[in-house]
Every structure is written in C-alpha cells, then in structure tokens.
Amino acid sequence: MGKLATILKSKNILLVIGLLILIFLVIYLGSVIQITWLLRIIIIVFILMVVVIIFLFKKMKEAQKAGQIEQSISDSSDSAMLSPEKRAEIDKFKKQLDAAISALKSSKLGRGKSGKSALYRLPWYMIIGPSAAGKTTAIQNSGLEFPYGKDSIKGVGGTRNCDWFFSTRAIFLDTAGRYVTETEDRPEWIAFLDTLKKNRKKKPINGVIIALNIDEIIKCNSSQLSEHAKNIRRRIDELINNLGVVFPVYFVFTKCDLIQGFIEYFSDFSETERSQIWGATFSVQQQLETDPKVIFENEFNKLAEVINKARTIRLSNPLKREQRRKVFLFPFQFSSLKEKLSNLVGEVFQPNPYQDNPVFRGFYFTSGTQEGLPLDLAIREIARKFNLPPAPGEDIEEIVETKNYFIKDLLNDVVIAEQNYAIGQASAVVKQNRTLRLASIGASVLMLLIFGLLFISGYNGSSEALDNISS
C-alpha cells in the first residue's frame, strides 16, 4: 500500500490521470451536447499539443537554469584566476570540476532523465562539519554511482573551500573549509547561494547533513563542544538566511567504531544488516515538540535499550574472553555518550524566537573505515562522576578494517528518498511574498474599481445622450 501511495503521489502519474479524465470529459460532454466526432478529436489533439508544448517549455527552462548553475560554479573562479600564484592550481580544479559535471550530464541519468538539466533536477545536500570527520568515507561507501569517480572534486571561486560529490542520484557539497571561520571568498560564496536561490526557487537545497567524528566529541570538554555547536548553527543560519528556505537537517555521528566494543558487538553482521540504519528519524508530531534535546534523549534511550536487550544474543556467539568483555560493556559505553550528545544537539537546535529555526529531522550513527584506538567511555564516565584520576592506559590493539556500518540505507532510503520532504520558506521570504500578494490583490481591486467607475460613467453618459435624442 505504501508503494502504491507513493506512485499515486507522483506528479507524472497525476498528470497522466488528469489528462485521461479531461479526454474522457471531452468525449462524454461532446456526446451530450452533440458535437461531431471530428470536432472532438480536434479538441483532444489540441489539448495534447498544449501539454507537449508546456512539457517542452518546462524542459527548456530546466536546462536553462541548470546551465546558469553550471556557469556560476565554473565562472565564479574568474576573480580567483587573477591571482598568479594560484592560477595553475585553480585551473586544474576548474578542469576537474567541468569534467565531473560533463560526466554527470552524459551518464545514464543525464541521457535518460535529466539531460542538460541534471544540475537542476537532482537533489542538493550541503554537508557541515570539520575536516577529517569521515564525510568522504561515508559518501564513498554509500553505494551511490559517481560517473566521474568517488573522489571529491575541489571547488573553485565561491566554492573553492568546498568539495563536490556528483552522484547520479544526488549532489553533495562538503563545506568543511567554511566550518570554523569566514573565508576570504565570502562574497563569491553568497553569490553562489543567490544563484541556487534564483534557479532552484522551490528547493535551493534539499537538506543539510551535519557530520561529526564521535572521537572528537568524546575528547571535547564542555566549552569545546559548545564551540562546535555554535559553528554548526552559524553555518545553518547562513544557509537559511541566504537561501530563504527552512530545510531538514540530518545529524550524523561518524567513526563510531572508536567506541570500545563497537566492532566486537557488530562483527557478525551481514552486509545487509550493516547497510541498515542505526539511529532515529523523527515523526512530524515529534518535530512539533519545542525541545529538540528531549526528543533526542527519548530516541537515544530507545536505541540504548535495543542494544542492551540484544546483548545476550551477541554474547552467545563464539568469542574470546576480551571480546566477550567488550561486547558485554558496549551498551554501557554507548549510553555514556548520551549527556554530551544531548547537550550538543540541544545547543545546535536551540529554538530562537527572533529567526527561523532549522528542522531537526533525525540523528544517526555510522562507521566507514575502522581504524584507530577505541576509547573506554564507561571507565572515563565513572572516573568523571567520582572525581577519580584517569585510569592507566591499557594495551589496546588497534583494529583496522574496511567494512562500513549503517551508511548505505541512511543516504539512499532516508536522505535522498526524502528529497521532496516538505520544507518551508523562511519567514522573511514569506512576509515578502505576502506583501507582494496583498499588493497584487490591492492593485487588481483598484483596477476593477476604476473600470467599474469608467463603465458606470460611460453608461450614464450614453443614457443621457439617448434621452436627449429621444426628447
């Protein structure tokens, strides 16, 4: 039933159904008012021609808008090209960027669905987070198809501090270079956002993905964590203010393999199980709640409860003594993250009555490549609560694997699948549109009054003239 409902909601399906109903009405009403079959066929052909013309015009406009976006991506480097010391490097990036866009346009999607309008029709996602947060690894292991290859493409001009990922299902722009400070390319960046706003009016972007390394969060103190939250919220507010839309935000915690016991707990998961989502996507009702921190804590508790209950099953597997210990403690390790993550989420999505607030769509835990030394969070938490000195370091074997956990379905079945998720205009844009709408209505009413007065005046003048002639 769900798939049927999705199909029926498709604009193309609705258009075909509407067209068939219109043709039926022409045939039926033609028989009622006794119109000849020839005239009915002419009317139907005319309707089909109008539909085809509208379709071709729409395609042309989409290709034109996509071309303007492409022009903005490439030509925004002109001012940067004036810098001799960076000219060769920028020229190299520009060629790679042009090649990636050309590969996307000539891919199966480009030829079969979008053609030259690929940059317009594909969903766009901005990625916010510091460098080395595991964003590239997550995208590369998403199962998406990248016509130009899985490696990121360096931006130029307004996006020269960003990395591009062009897949056949979505476009990702990693803004890591803009995470902490305002860079010197800010005017060009704002101009790029204006181009998106102008040429993708309904949805300049389809969502934002926040990516933070769980290891970095664990090692942060409260002030450092607060600084991360402020940086993230600053970037989100910048996008809302310049694009004029409010969009869904997906919070992704990466490198979760650095939680001690993660690898041992999920080691026997099949590829299908590792592709599933580990996190929570909020319902509409939950999003109406005023405190995102409370919503997060409720869903986090559910996740912790699930892994705690499943621990018995995990312990029934043949494990070595040390592995068994880590599996047993993993639910405690995971639960010890709650306070820090909750404070981070609460500050990022703190409601602000003086501006538009982002839509907290959900939070997720992932792992791309397993490398580094896992941290014993449970021992750290006990030491912190009882003000004990740090536990002496134990000899932990560094585990290096190349499996990916809980990434594929997240990007494919949640983020990209929700590309048409209802997003609203920013309040400033809504106010501006309301003002224009009221002005248009006022002007129309005024014009009707003027025409009405002219008509009455003309009618009275004609009546007097007729009376004079009669007399």
95 and 167 co-located in one domain: yes
Q: How many structural domains comprise the chain?
A: 2
Query: What pLDDT, on the 0 to 100 scale, is given for residue 110?
Result: 46
Nearest Cα neighbor of 159 from 112, 191, 137 is 191
Instruction: Look at residue 331 in the predicted model and tell me its pLDDT.
Output: 94
Query: For 220-244, what is each residue's pLDDT tens digit?
Result: 899 999 999 999 999 999 999 999 9
Per-residue pLDDT, averaged over 410-416, amounts to: 93
- Whether 230 is in a domain gets the answer yes
276 and 232 fall within a common domain: yes
In this structure, is residue 462 part of a structural domain?
A: no
Residue 165 in 3-state DSSP?
A: strand
* pLDDT reported for residue 339: 93
Residues 208 and 297 in one domain: yes
The pLDDT of residue 445 is above 70: no
Residue 94 has pLDDT above 80, yes or no: no
User: For residue 8, what are the domain limits?
Assistant: 2-67
Q: Is the pLDDT of residue 436 over 50?
A: no
Q: What is the pLDDT of residue 95?
A: 75
pLDDT beyond 80 at 298? yes
Is residue 179 within 8 Å of residue 173, measured between CB atoms? no
95 lies in the same domain as 60:
no
Query: Are 42 and 121 found together in one domain?
Result: no
Q: Which residue has the higher pLDDT, 199 or 458?
A: 199
pLDDT confidence of residue 355: 84
How far from 292 is each of 40, 213, 357, CA to CA, in Å?
59, 21, 11
Q: Is residue 439 part of a domain?
A: no
Based on the fold, state whether residues 252 and 346 are members of the same structural domain: yes
pLDDT in tens, 143-153: 888 888 777 77
Same domain, 139 and 23: no
Under a CB-based contact definition with an 8 Å cutoff, are residues 126 and 211 in contact?
no
Interval 73-86 mean pLDDT: 56
Which range (5-9, 298-302, 338-342, 365-369) has the least confidence? 5-9
Specify which of 34-38, 275-279, 281-285, 418-422 reaches the highest per-range mean pLDDT.
275-279
Give the whole-angstrom CA distance, residue 325 versus residue 137. 29
On the question of pLDDT at 451 being above 50, the answer is: no
- Order of all β-strands in the sheet with 124-128: 153-154, 163-166, 171-174, 124-128, 207-213, 248-254, 359-365, 279-281
Q: What confidence tier does 60 reach under pLDDT thresholds 50, 70, 90?
A: confident
pLDDT of res. 386: 44
* Predicted local distance difference test score (pLDDT) of residue 74: 64
Q: Residues 294, 367: one domain?
A: yes
* Predicted pLDDT at 432: 46
Instruction: List the structure tokens of 386.
Output: 């009882």
85-107 average pLDDT score:
72
- Residue with the bigger pLDDT between 33 and 353: it is 353
Does the structure show a pLDDT above 70 at 297?
yes
Q: Count CA atoms closer than 13 A to 292's CA, side-chain side.
A: 24
Mean pLDDT of 190-196: 85
Region of 244 (left: φ > 0; alpha: ψ -120 to 50; beta: rest) is left
Measured CA to CA, the distance from residue 369 to residue 402 in angstroms comes to 5
What pTM was computed for the model?
0.75
Residue 429 pLDDT class (50, 70, 90 cuts): very low
pLDDT band at residue 134, thresholds of 50, 70 and 90?
confident
Q: Do 419 and 281 lie in a common domain?
A: yes
23 with 160, same domain? Answer: no
3 state DSSP class of 360: strand
Q: What is the pLDDT of residues 369-403, one digit of tens each?
A: 777 677 665 455 544 554 544 444 444 555 556 78
Task: Kindly state whether residue 74 falls inside one of the protein's structural domains.
Answer: no
Task: Quote the pLDDT of residue 411.
Answer: 93
Q: Are residues 112 and 26 in the same domain?
A: no
pLDDT of amino acid 106: 76
In a domain, residue 366? The reply is yes
* pLDDT at 250 exceeding the cut of 90: yes
pLDDT of residue 11: 66
Average pLDDT over all residues of the chain:
78
Residue 224 is assigned to a structural domain of this protein = yes
Q: Indicate whether 78 pLDDT > 70.
A: no
Residues 252 and 168 in one domain: yes
